[in-house]
Amino acid sequence: MVYLAGAFYVAGMAITNQIILRLLILAGTCVYLIYYAIIGDTPLWEAIYVSLLIGIANIGGLSSLIARQSRLAIPRAHADIFYDFPRLPPGDFRALMKLAKRYTVEQDTQVTLEGEMGEKLYFVLKGATLVRKGEQAFVLPPKLFLGEVSFLTGVPSSASAWLEEGAEVLEWQFDDLRRKCARNPRFNLALEAAISLDLAAKVARSMGESSVHVDNIPSPMVNALSDVRRN
To the nearest whole number, what is the mean pLDDT of the chain?
82
Lowest mean pLDDT among 24-28, 67-71, 147-151: 67-71
Using one digit for the tens of pLDDT, what is the confidence trace for 161-196? Answer: 999 889 999 999 999 999 999 999 988 988 988 888
Question: Does position 135 have pLDDT exceeding 80, yes or no?
Answer: no
Question: Rounded to an integer, what distance in angstroms lies between the CA atom of residue 165 and that of residue 172?
Answer: 20
Whole-number Å distance between alpha carbons of 24 and 29 = 9
E-strand ranges in the chain read 101-104, 109-112, 120-126, 129-133, 136-140, 144-146, 160-163, 168-173, 211-213, 229-230
At 85-128, the pLDDT tens digits run 877 888 889 899 999 999 999 988 899 998 899 899 999 999 98
CB contact at 8 A, 97 and 86: no
205 — pLDDT class (breaks 50, 70, 90): low
Q: What is the pLDDT of residue 204?
A: 62
Q: What pLDDT score was predicted for residue 229?
A: 46
Q: What sign for the dihedral angle of Cα 167, 173, 179, 182?
A: positive
Q: Which letter, b or e, does each residue of 8-45 get, where b requires 16 or more Cβ atoms within 10 Å of its Cβ?
A: bbeebeeeeeeeebbbbbbbbbebbbebbeeeeeeebe
* Domains of the chain: residue spans and CATH: 2-69 (no CATH), 82-230 (2.60.120.10)
